[in-house]
A and B are shown apart, each in its own frame.
Chain A
Amino acid sequence: MAATREETATARTIVLDVPGWPGHLAGQHVDVRLTAPDGYSTERSYSIASAPPDGGADPPVVELTVQRLPDGEVSPYLTQTLAVGYPLELRGPVGGWFVWNPDGPASTRPVLLVAGGSGVVPLMAIIRERAAAGSHAPFKLIYSVRDSGALLYAGELTQREQAGDGLEVSYVYTRTAPPGSSQPAGRLNAATLASAGWPPEESPAVFVCGPTGFVEAVADLLVRAGHGAGAIKTERFGPSGGKP
């Protein structure tokens, strides 16, 4: 581990130097394995938060943002114990489904990203990759979060949105909306998906990531609104064994 950044009271980004990293696509994850001195080992998947390394850094840098789960087996170690210089066993990059590729055939198509809580992590990798690749594909991010204290990447998202190059961010607060919010606290609903997302006629590529219940609900709403099921890619994480 090369460095850390605290993102919220319970989430931190760990910056890893990974010699020999082959590069990755935005949206992919890694499997992290921890092994105890007695040989017991356990593995979790974590989404990669950073855009693919541009080849400038040697060794290549990969960032993970880890949300600490109170009863977690792996996340407390990664967010509290792991210190700069410690080694970490990684497998990856993994996954070729939940990815956005700026060089792909559909790279200019509008994109809708819908995040539930720390499900924003792989979507942030996609947003960072869009910027790194100089893409002007129109992007909309709808970010559902408990309250403003749980927001990941708040400053960076504001900055990227203010760059005015086609990224729009909307926030949905499920428990406490900050003063001045346009809407009271509540769950992401069909009306917000319609006003903050793309209409189905624009044929957006849709990426939804969050807890299982959130992903189910959003995917249902999108299909009911007329989006093709085939255009919606989802990534769920459970309460344990979870990602990101």
Chain B
Amino acid sequence: MSDYMDGNMLGGKLGELFTMDVTSAMLTCVSCGASMAIAQARVYPHAPGMVAYCPNCGAVLLRLVRGPDRAWLDLRGVTCLQLAVPLS
């Protein structure tokens, strides 16, 4: 399958849930321990919702399903999310 996109495209939808841009946030894959920006994940947008896979080992990192009045964010494949925040 080559019909995937990358995590850049999650920016708008995740941006509805987070207060900052998360596509440049670094995450660690549960399965293989690889570290990457969300923008580097492989995203298949054609499932019912969006599924992001680890580009290194192919494990599911996260799933995002959006309904009219709610969103489901399943982060099963992510151990840690590192976000840059402005100095307080």
Q: Do A and B bind each other?
A: yes
Which positions in A face B, CB cutoff 8 Å? 29-31, 43, 45, 91-92, 94-98, 212-213, 216, 233-243
The answer to whether B4 and A94 touch across the interface, beta carbons within 8 angstroms, is: no
The answer to whether B4 and A96 touch across the interface, beta carbons within 8 angstroms, is: no
* Interface residues contributed by chain B, number (CB under 8 Å): 21
> Which residues of B (14-57) have their CB < 8 Å from a CB of A?
15, 21, 23-24, 37-40, 45-46
> How far is A154 from B38 in the complex, measured between Cα atoms in Å?
33
The answer to whether A238 and B45 touch across the interface, beta carbons within 8 angstroms, is: yes
Given A96-B21, A97-B24, A98-B39, answer yes or no on A241-B12 (Cβ-Cβ < 8 Å).
no
- Could you give 26 example pairs across A and B, Cβ below 8 Å? A29-B9, A30-B12, A31-B12, A31-B13, A43-B12, A45-B9, A45-B12, A94-B8, A94-B12, A94-B15, A94-B23, A95-B8, A95-B21, A95-B23, A95-B24, A96-B11, A96-B21, A97-B39, A97-B40, A212-B3, A234-B40, A236-B6, A237-B5, A238-B5, A238-B45, A241-B9
The answer to whether A213 and B8 touch across the interface, beta carbons within 8 angstroms, is: no
The answer to whether B11 and A238 touch across the interface, beta carbons within 8 angstroms, is: no
Q: Which residues of A contact B3 (CB under 8 A)?
A: 212, 238-239
- Among B5, B13, B21, B23, contact of A236 (Cβ-Cβ < 8 Å): B5
Closest CB of chain B to A41's CB: distance in Å? 10
Given A29-B8, A238-B45, answer yes or no on A212-B2 (Cβ-Cβ < 8 Å).
yes
Q: Which residues of A contact B24 (CB under 8 A)?
A: 95-97
Q: Max chain A CB contacts within 10 Å: which of B4, B8, B15?
A: B8
- Among B5, B11, B40, B45, contact of A95 (Cβ-Cβ < 8 Å): B11
Q: Which residues of B contact A216 (CB under 8 A)?
A: 2
Closest residue of chain A to B9 (Cβ to Cβ) is A45
Closest residue of chain B to A43 (Cβ to Cβ) is B12
The answer to whether B21 and A238 touch across the interface, beta carbons within 8 angstroms, is: no
